[in-house]
Amino acid sequence: MKQKPCYILGIESSCDDTAASILNHNKVLSNCITNQKIHTEYGGVVPELASRAHQSNIVPVVDFALKKAKIQCKDLSAIAFTQGPGLLGSLLVGGSFAKSMSLGLNIPLIAVHHMQAHLLVHFIKSKEIIPPSFPFIGVNISGGHTQIILVNDYFKMKVIGSTIDDAIGEAFDKCGKLIGLKYPAGPEIDRLSQNGNSYRFEFPIPKVNNLNVSYSGVKTAFMNFIIKEKQNNLKFVQENINDICASIQKILIKIIFQKINLAVKETGIKTVAIGGGVSANSELRKLLKNQTEINKWNVHIPPIEYTTDNGAMIGIAGYYKWRENNFTSLSTPSQARIDF
């Protein structure tokens, strides 16, 4: 049977990236993004500035995504947008834009949960991606979230563990700020760690029950350590930057890695898929790949372009909702907090 044509526009604007992507069914035709450089000077995302930048960026980004995909507005079948969670002012820009476009073109509107979308990138049709089979353990690790999820189906997801305080990406960014790295510090810590000795400095692993994790204690321990060492040597950070990065990265990754191991043990599910910005981390990717050989896990690691926030993740979630005619109304609110 011939498939009916399907072109989905996915719009992501939950934090500081304005992103748009066009998918033909589950295949990505374009994936365009504008990062907001303005936040680097402030050491973190400033919500008010993020909303304003989304307003300037959204039209050009969507226009560029359409042109790159070589399609026109009239070809679109539906528009998917991030409903939440995220910064409300940022979400409202993408949400209102998606609603106006769906009204203007008289095509369906699809509301997408940002964290579900991070995991659904594993179902994008691509030579580099092998989709996981259900059920699997989803690990969502980003600047705002740290979650271990039991994924039974595309939209049947249950959080079985999460952070009790800071998110892992937040810990990377805050530790990086303490040693003078620009926001977001995660990728820079990863890069500097490549030439560092991760055994040089030790930090405590917090004891947290079940599948939950904590990152605030290690962040405080790191801060105290840096203050103390700088009292003895003002150039301590400069002289030891690679070893400092490698040592803190090792502990931040170990905390989540131990809980992924526990989740596999407790559920008996050996298929693990990671998503979110921190899934770009090379140390975690290496540890997980090792598990395929050592413990015969089926590990699914997304291509780098689908790790941090992007429009394709919203587009693929939109595609699976489109298949089920799971559309939303123009009155659907954007939500800063939203359950699965």
Size of the site for ligand KG4 (CB under 6 A): 19
For residue 67, give Cα distances in angstroms to 61, 70, 87: 10, 5, 28
Using CB atoms within 10 Å of the CB of residue 195, give its burial: 0 to 12 exposed, 13 to 18 middle, 19+ buried.
exposed
Nearer to Zn ion, 144 or 196 (CB): 144
Binding mask of the shown chain, residues 257 to 296, with x at each position contacting ligand KG4 by CB under 6 A: -------------------xxx-xx---------------
Under rule CB under 6 A, residue 309 binds ligand KG4: yes
Q: Minimum Å distance from CB 115 to ligand KG4?
A: 8
Q: Minimum Å distance from CB 118 to Zn ion?
A: 6
**Residue 290, C-beta contacts closer than 8 angstroms, at least 6 positions apart:** none
Q: Minimum Å distance from CB 265 to ligand KG4?
A: 25
Q: Minimum Å distance from CB 118 to ligand KG4?
A: 6
Answer for which of 15, 93, 98, 272 binds ligand KG4 (CB under 6 A) is 15
**Residue 270, C-beta contacts closer than 8 angstroms, at least 6 positions apart:** 264, 295, 296, 297, 298
From Zn ion, ligand KG4, none, which one binds at residue 89 (CB under 5 to 8 Å depending on kind)? none
- Sites of contact with Zn ion (CB under 5 A): 142, 309
Q: Minimum Å distance from CB 217 to ligand KG4?
A: 18
Q: What single-letter DSSP state applies at residue 308?
A: S
Nearer to Zn ion, 161 or 217 (CB): 161
Alpha carbon distance 268, 41 (integer Å)? 46
Q: How many CB atoms lie within 10 A of CB 50?
A: 24
Give the number of C-alpha atoms closer than 13 A to the C-alpha of residue 340, restricted to the C-beta side: 20
Residues 162-201 that bind ligand KG4 (CB under 6 A): 169, 172-173, 184-187, 190
Under rule CB under 6 A, residue 142 binds ligand KG4: yes
Nearer to ligand KG4, 20 or 101 (CB): 20
Alpha carbon distance 166, 144 (integer Å)? 8
From ligand KG4, Zn ion, none, which one binds at residue 315 (CB under 5 to 8 Å depending on kind)? none
* Beta sheet of 271-275, edge-to-edge order: 156-162, 146-153, 136-141, 271-275, 298-300
Rounded to the nearest 5 degrees, what angle is found at the Cα of 29, between the Cα atoms of 116 and 154? 20
Residues that bind ligand KG4 (CB under 6 A): 15, 142-144, 169, 172-173, 184-187, 190, 276-278, 280-281, 308-309
